[in-house]
Amino acid sequence: MYITVHAAAGAAIGQFVDEPWIAFLLGFVSHFVLDAIPHGDEGIVKWKLFKTTRRRIMAAAILDFASLMAVSVLWIVYSDLPQLTGIFYGIAGAILPDALWGFHELTGAPFLNWYRNLHASTHKIFKIRLNLKQGFMLQIPVLVILTLIILIF
Ligand SMILES: [Zn+2]
């Protein structure tokens, strides 16, 4: 899933957790649970607006980062101060798996080959494949629900 959705899950979980390392760990685990749900990110490689896969991935990453910045301001402004530690650690744990994956993609670091395979395998637990549009139709409501959970509690 997009980093924005993973971060929302980390924040939604982290706000209920006082112990930072537990918020981090739960955020980390939530990443793999969400990645197991078919979510259509693979469809980015067919995005017609851009000519190369590299440009498509760059554009998606920039849009993802921009939406994360926009919604995380909401999460922070509407959360109570004591919740922010758990929220930040939850977000860090939830986005670390994709940061590790990206690091491996960029560097090809052999010591992370096992991790790359583990991360990729979570995407293949269910055989259903969604296209980009269907992926958005799933991820946007998930993001809205998680954001409501962050704002309400
Ligand atoms: Zn991932």
List, for residues 35-49, the tens digit of each pLDDT value: 999 998 877 777 788
Q: What is residue 45's predicted lDDT score, i.e. its pLDDT?
A: 76
- Which domain range does residue 51 map to? 3-94+122-151
19: phi > 0 → left, psi -120 to 50 → alpha, else beta; which? beta
d(CA 119, CA 70): 27
Residue 53 in domain = yes
All residue ranges of the chain with pLDDT < 50 are: none
The first and second tokens of residue 38, run together, are 């078919």
d(CA 57, CA 46): 11
Residue 104 in domain = no
Q: What is residue 112's predicted lDDT score, i.e. its pLDDT?
A: 95
Residue 101 in domain = no
List, for residues 59-80, the tens digit of each pLDDT value: 888 999 999 999 999 999 999 9
CA of 1 to the centre of ligand 1 (A): 6
CA of 97 to the centre of ligand 1 (A): 6
CA of 10 to the centre of ligand 1 (A): 13
Structural domain count, the chain: 1
CA of 3 to the centre of ligand 1 (A): 8
Residue 117 in domain = no
Task: Judge if pTM exceeds 0.85.
Answer: yes
d(CA 110, CA 117): 12
Contact by Cβ (8 Å): 51, 151? no
Residue 140 in domain = yes
